[in-house]
Structure 1
Amino acid sequence: MRQIILASASPRRKELLRQLIGDNFKVVESSYHEKSQTKMKPLEFVIHNSREKAKEIASMIRHGIVIGADTVVLCDEEILGKPHTENKAREMLRQINGEKVHVITGLTVIDIDGNLQTSTSETTSVKIKQMSDAEIEAYVKTKEPIDKAGAFAIQGKGAIIVEEIDGDYFNVVGLPLFKLNKILHELGIDVMEIV
């Protein structure tokens, strides 16, 4: 099988890719630092970031397929990043409290051997339940919201603040598996044959 490289240090993306293709890939963390939101629209922004991450890793190797991804949470047209402190997480959770947010992932796959690059995006709507101050505080104290886009992790305790979801669940975790599989299939990789 061809070498597949995930250009991300995200443990969630690693776990999702493992679900799709087993341990048949390497992780090489991209050193590309996402710029703060420029004048780009959110879709352009995440695709740009995913492309830059993938291109950086692709420039270092000779063969294989590189996967880059970038996920943001959009609330009232504002991109919410990853809070690095409890105070920022608390503030962000108050902002999304009772709101419908949109989780957008930019996905880029580079086939080095075929000199092909595919970039796409996936958007999933997530309705956050109305939380009391005590519920926000309890969730912040778990430390789970730290370093998570939008200050919640749907695959963890954050599942209890998600009232409903419209779209790809895996996209909310960080890697839209349906779209990724479609791209891999176009490149001749059948995930059903990978063990």
Structure 2
Amino acid sequence: MIYRTLKPFVLASNSPRRKDFLTDLGLDFRIEAREIDESPLTAEDPTLYVERMAKRKASVVADLFPGEYVVAADTAVCLGETILGKPADEQDAVEMLLALSGRSHVVRSGICLLNRQLNREVVLSVATDVHFVEFDAAVARSYVKTGESLDKAGAYGIQGSGAFLVGRVSGSYTNVVGLPLAETINVLKNEKIIDSSIN
């Protein structure tokens, strides 16, 4: 155990990766996630989009548990100003991957901590630059056939076999996985929700 939980909190996410990150640090929390409309607004800035999504995810859960701290996050893969969500099907996944081949893109995550009863809200975002190696359509199709692409923004998972697509990362690796862990821990510590396990 690296951290101890001082105040109970809720993780508003069904992502196994986000759950594992926090569990591995020894944190005690429960999961209460609700589905929301994740469609970007017309010409919405990618940073504002992930922050809005994180706030919305936290808000719908905080409505149910107004006296508790709720932590939510949203991650998007951005090619320029274009937000790449989860692919609709295998062909869409292949097209996304080929658009990223040999190019740099930005993975952005929004984080929101919300306590409705205390009227306390903290929102921030984190950006990581990711550069893909160059590959052809046959490689993209083969990777998509693994099934790893279809539930991930940008159609790849850096923590899985999709790691071979990545030439370099500049910034938070855990952000690319789906939760900027250092920044999330800082928010929880600053709000005195968690503390180091040894004092």
Q: Normalising by structure 2, what TM-score?
A: 0.91
* Structure 2 Cα separation of the partners of residues 132 and 38 of structure 1: 31
Q: Normalising by structure 1, what TM-score?
A: 0.93
Matched, 1:131 2:138: no
**SS state of the match for residue 114, structure 2?**
strand
* Structure 2 Cα separation of the partners of residues 192 and 141 of structure 1: 43
Percent identity between the two aligned chains: 36
Matched, 1:70 2:74: yes
* Structure 1 Cα separation of the partners of residues 171 and 44 of structure 2: 24
**SS state of the match for residue 105, structure 2?**
strand
Which aligned runs of 4 or more in structure 1 are off by greater than 6 angstroms?
none
Matched, 1:60 2:79: no
Other-structure match for 2:51 = 47
**Amino acid corresponding to residue 16 of structure 1 in structure 2:** F
Other-structure match for 2:22 = 17
* Structure 1 Cα separation of the partners of residues 116 and 25 of structure 2: 21
Greater shift, 106-115 or 67-76, is seen at 106-115
Task: Tell me how large the CA RMSD over aligned residues is.
Answer: 1.6
Other-structure match for 1:116 = 120
Matched, 1:145 2:149: yes
Other-structure match for 1:176 = 180
User: Would the aligned equivalents of 2:8 and 2:193 in 1 still touch at CA under 8 Å?
Assistant: no
**Amino acid corresponding to residue 8 of structure 2 in structure 1:** Q
- CA deviation map 1:26-85 (0-9, x unaligned): 111122221234332111111011001101101111432101111101113211010131
Deviation at 1:10, TM superposition (A): 1.4
**SS state of the match for residue 165, structure 1?**
strand
Other-structure match for 1:188 = 192
User: Would the aligned equivalents of 2:158 and 2:177 in 1 still touch at CA under 8 Å?
Assistant: yes
Q: Structure 1 residues 18, 84: CA separation in 2 closer, same or farther (over 3 Å shift)?
A: farther
Other-structure match for 2:88 = 84
* Structure 1 Cα separation of the partners of residues 169 and 185 of structure 2: 21
**For structure 1, which runs of at least 5 residues remain unmatched after alignment?**
none
User: Would the aligned equivalents of 1:20 and 1:191 in 2 still touch at CA under 8 Å?
Assistant: no
Other-structure match for 2:3 = none
